[in-house]
Amino acid sequence: MTVTDAQTAALLGGPGQVLTDAEVDSFIRDSLAGAGLDGRSVCVIVPDATRSCPLPLLLSAVHGALTGRVSELTVLVALGTHAEMSADQLAGHLGGPYDGLTVLNHEWWKEDTFADLGTISAAKVREISGGLLDEAVPVRLNRAVVEHDVALVVGPVFPHEVVGFSGGNKYFFPGVAGQEVIDLSHWLGALITSAGIIGTPSLTPVRALINEAAGLIPADKLALSVVAQSGTSALHAVAFGDTISSWQAAAAVSAQTHIRYLDRPVRRVVSLMPSRYQDIWTAAKGFYKVEPVVADGGEVILYAPHVTQLAAMHPEIEQLGYHCRDYFLGQWDQFRDAHWGVLAHSTHLRGAGTWDLVNGERCRVDVTLATGIPEDVVRGANLGYLDPAGFDLAQYESDPETLVLPNAGEVLYRLR
């Protein structure tokens, strides 16, 4: 196993490899030792608990490498618009305790959380989006990032429905960003469609928009981007460099690690959702990752009896419901004032479809929830309902036209 160079990023590991904890620890310590961080303040941006990632291992190595060398060390949890993590949850999530380390949730619900970084012009948005959008967007970011000399992103890279692959500058936008960039970037992804963007390791329009916003951050931006073995604490690879080159190196490995190919479409997919997804807002990844392999007229069942809400932090989705992109575009005057990020989530879970005044909405795939959410709420949101108490896993597993996926939500399925 060797350390190689991918553009300007150092990369340890690769597809098919599994790194030892000692290898990861040594790589991180050596990388940070040569990063010129002595005497500087460092804000470490990390994911919340909705991603597979051995964060205690990574953060322990970062803490060990930087303690006594930097003037200030802060960890900021990139919630995006997810729920706040409690002190007990943070302790389990981050490991530790760590002397001299300040830990912060990204308190996106508080206006004084943010610093204004400037504005991306309408002309630039039009250029980046290829004309899909034509309006300026103010850029706000958690002030903890702005108030440190260095922003160090530490987290995993997976195929992602909005941006192509997660990681890198995405930890800033939407991870610790204001609502404006979140809404614009997610709606741009929705206009392109999840199926059209997910698993694209090159520079997608949404990634270009995020990079443009990140260019306004005054702090130096570095990243430890990891490729996790989904559902485990093991790592295939870790890359260190700036937030673009590190992400590129990790995304290239993820593209060979987190994508499975089928020879033909399936009639049904049953996604067994792990407990890290606590509502449909996050558990919807069990649909995003399998939509490309479901036959026209097929079905995706999200089995998650532990889930009792559609969206803990976005209850408006109950009234809005889940609809295809064209449903909103065809009635844009009715929906333009809704949060575009919520509209995007709606379209991502409902998938491809059409809408017109004569025929109404016609979605390519049915989406059924087998969860703890009441039936009236599920059906009222334009989704199918299945009582989880009557769910027969063995029946689905024996059906040759059904694909059953344990630990769904991180690995992308595509047709060859």
Residue 108 pLDDT level (bands cut at 50, 70, 90): confident
Q: Which of the residue ranges 41-55, 142-156, 369-383, 388-402 would you say has the lowest mean pLDDT?
A: 41-55
CA distance 177 to 213: 10
How many distinct structural domains can be found in the chain? 2
CA distance 9 to 141: 25
Q: 244 and 293, same structural domain?
A: no
Residue 50 pLDDT level (bands cut at 50, 70, 90): confident
Q: 319 and 247, same structural domain?
A: no
User: How large is the average pLDDT for residues 145-171?
Assistant: 96
> Given a cut of 80, is residue 5 above it in pLDDT?
no
Q: 216 and 298, same structural domain?
A: no
In percent, the amount of the chain with pLDDT more than 90 equals 88
User: How large is the average pLDDT for residues 224-253?
Assistant: 94
Q: 98 and 244, same structural domain?
A: yes
User: How large is the average pLDDT for residues 37-48?
Assistant: 96
From 200, 222, 257, the end of a domain falls on: 257
3 state DSSP class of 278: coil
Q: 249 and 316, same structural domain?
A: no
Provide the β-strand partners of residue 269.
300, 403
> Given a cut of 60, is residue 2 above it in pLDDT?
no
> Given a cut of 80, is residue 6 above it in pLDDT?
no
**Strands 164-165, 159-160: pairing kind:** antiparallel
pLDDT, tens only, 324-358: 999 999 999 999 999 999 999 999 999 999 999 99
Q: 135 and 14, same structural domain?
A: yes
pLDDT of res. 1: 36
CATH of residue 215: 3.40.50.11440
Residue 264 pLDDT level (bands cut at 50, 70, 90): very high
The model's pTM is 0.92
User: How large is the average pLDDT for residues 44-61?
Assistant: 91
Q: 252 and 300, same structural domain?
A: no
Q: 285 and 234, same structural domain?
A: no
Q: 323 and 191, same structural domain?
A: no
CATH of residue 282: 3.90.226.30
From 257, 277, 306, the end of a domain falls on: 257
CA distance 411 to 230: 7
pLDDT of res. 3: 39
**Domain range spanning residue 87?**
3-257
From 225, 257, 289, the end of a domain falls on: 257
Q: 245 and 96, same structural domain?
A: yes
pLDDT, tens only, 15-30: 999 999 999 999 999 9
Q: 229 and 157, same structural domain?
A: yes
Measured in residues, the chain has a length of 416
Q: 335 and 251, same structural domain?
A: no
